[in-house]
Structure 1
Amino acid sequence: MQRYFVDSTQISSPDRITVRGDDVHHIKNVMRMKAGDRLICCDNRGTDYLAELVSVSEGEARCRILETTASRGEPRIQVTIAASLTKGDKWEWMLQKGTELGAASFLPFTSARTVVKLDGKKAGKKRERWQRIAKEAAEQSHRGQIPHVEGVTDWRSLLERFSAFDRVLLASEKGGRPLREALQESAEEHLMVVVGPEGGFTETEEREAVAAGAVTVHLGPRILRAETAPLALLSCIHYSYGEMGGEPL
């Protein structure tokens, strides 16, 4: 069943939802829905609404709420992916797949070996595009919330963010603790995973990250691409916390 995110202001009464914006075009012209068809609306706060389409015009789609349930697509643990900008569309691919896998938010950054550079205007347009990608991926994967995509930050500013998380895990090609061992120590609820650019982190950056509170971890003997490593980390974390089916390890 087709899924759409709505703002809380679009829920006008206990049994009415009005869909506006680009989603109206999708409902009317792409899905070709008619009165009586059913869809799911989500308030981006973890609540799903099974709704029936009452009417659709150029500007809005009016729906009647049939059932209200808690969203099932949100993991208990909140994982922020901090990933260095990568060449081509690799970062967008990671963003899409990371959203499907349950990441809570994304933080793009630049470090010493980051090749891609964005000026203020281009970075703003990129962020708008990235947020749209996250929204579409959240709808497709039946998420209860759209992950927030932050603006591009630099390495120093990223280090200052570490203290806001229960734990920060930094993927290192040079070594570090086994990921399984690091995850078994405690049950944090707010994690950040940090993955560098194609050339990896410098030794100075790794020392600075550890000094700021990060734990360096390694992901085995294989060298993963910059866009693959965040997804591997996220999947392992969710599996260890029982978010991929089964009980926590």
Structure 2
Amino acid sequence: MQRYFIKNEQLTNEVVEITGDDAAHITKVMRMQAGDEVICVNEDGKAVLVQLSQFDPSSVKGTVLNEMDNETELPIRVTVAQGLPKGDKLETIVQKGTELGAYAFAPFSASRSIVKWDEKKGAKKTERLQKIAKEAAEQAHRLFVPNVAKPVPLKVVAEALTHYDVCIVCDEEEAKQGEKANLKRAFAMLKPGLSLLVIVGPEGGLTREEVALLSAKGAVSCSIGPRIVRTETAAMYVLAALSYQFEL
């Protein structure tokens, strides 16, 4: 069943109004008619089953049938701090990370980032990434759309570490040296409702100086297994492992 995220003011106890691109999707793409049902989720994560009843050129209205209580959010609030990668890899990270339950994404520029963020085009890129997150959240039946922040320098990420309960750095050098325990220890410090920051470098990883900066601010440098994975895979590994530990 199709799911749409709406503003709080679009939902009352009895009626929902869907507007903008979502209304166009319902009428022009899905070709829905009166009597069809969709799920709508407001900004507070309230999900309701809606029966569509009225179609206008710019909006679709429906009647609330009942509230839904399915819990689909990862119990740990995970923010993925991702070093800017090449090509469209950031889009993949946002899409797949949203499907796996990420709470937010915080791209950053690192010493080995080949891609340089173009401020003139940055707003449109961030808007596109936010749209990708929304579509992935709808597909995954999430209750919230992860926020995708504007990229910042790594030092800004380092200063923000105090805002999270646990912070880890996915470090391939730790994997090469055979480290196996730090990720497990980090998970042991977590419980439902806490927040985790997962820091992943770009292609080529983080420099030793960057890892030292993050470690000095309280981040734990972790291996995520004996194999060296691509930058777009690292956060997915952590999210999947968290889901196994806390949801299955």
Normalised by the length of structure 2, the TM-score is 0.94
Q: Which residue of 2 aligns with 1:7?
A: 7
Deviation larger for 182-191 or 138-147: 182-191
Q: How does 1:195-210 map to 2 (within 5 A)?
A: 195-210=200-215
Indicate the SS of the match to 2:107.
Answer: strand
The 2-side partners of 1:166 and 1:182 are apart by: 10
How many Å apart are 1:44 and its aligned residue?
A: 3.0
Q: Deviations over 1:61-120 (max 9, x none)?
A: 011000012342112210000001111111111110000000000000011101101121
Q: Which residue of 2 aligns with 1:119?
A: 118
Tell me if structure 2 keeps the 8 A contact 1:50–1:68.
yes
Cα RMSD (Å): 1.2
Higher percent of residues as strand: 1
Higher percent of residues as helix: 2
How many Å apart are 1:218 and its aligned residue?
A: 0.2
Q: Which residue of 2 aligns with 1:42?
A: 41
Structure 2: give runs of 5+ residues left out of the alignment.
none
Amino acid at match of 2:110: S
Deviation larger for 164-173 or 180-189: 180-189
Q: Does 1:172 align with 2:171?
A: yes
Amino acid at match of 2:78: V
Total equivalences in the alignment? 242
Q: Deviations over 1:17-70 (max 9, x none)?
A: 000010011000111000111111011322111000011121000110000123
Indicate the SS of the match to 2:231.
Answer: coil
The 2-side partners of 1:186 and 1:24 are apart by: 40
The 2-side partners of 1:17 and 1:77 are apart by: 30
Tell me if structure 2 keeps the 8 A contact 1:20–1:60.
yes
Q: Does 1:27 align with 2:7?
A: no
Amino acid at match of 1:17: V
Q: Which residue of 1 aligns with 2:153?
A: 154
Q: Deviations over 1:144-178 (max 9, x none)?
A: 00001111110111111100000101011111544
Tell me if structure 2 keeps the 8 A contact 1:46–1:74.
no
Q: Does 1:104 align with 2:108?
A: no
Amino acid at match of 1:6: I
How many Å apart are 1:8 and its aligned residue?
A: 0.4
Amino acid at match of 1:187: K
Percentage of matched positions with identical amino acids: 41
Q: Compared with structure 1, are the counterparts of its residues 89 and 163 closer, same or farther at alpha carbon in structure 2 (3 Å cutoff)?
A: same
The 2-side partners of 1:216 and 1:9 are apart by: 44
Q: Which residue of 2 aligns with 1:55?
A: 54
The 2-side partners of 1:93 and 1:19 are apart by: 28
How many Å apart are 1:186 and its aligned residue?
A: 4.5
Structure 1: give runs of 5+ residues left out of the alignment.
none
The 2-side partners of 1:206 and 1:119 are apart by: 25
Q: Which residue of 2 aligns with 1:142?
A: 141
Amino acid at match of 2:172: E
Tell me if structure 2 keeps the 8 A contact 1:178–1:219.
no
Amino acid at match of 1:136: E
The 2-side partners of 1:46 and 1:31 are apart by: 24
Amino acid at match of 2:215: V
Q: Which residue of 1 aligns with 2:89?
A: 90
Q: Which residue of 2 aligns with 1:231?
A: 236
Q: Deviations over 1:188-223 (max 9, x none)?
A: 710000000111111111111000110011012110
The 2-side partners of 1:58 and 1:78 are apart by: 38
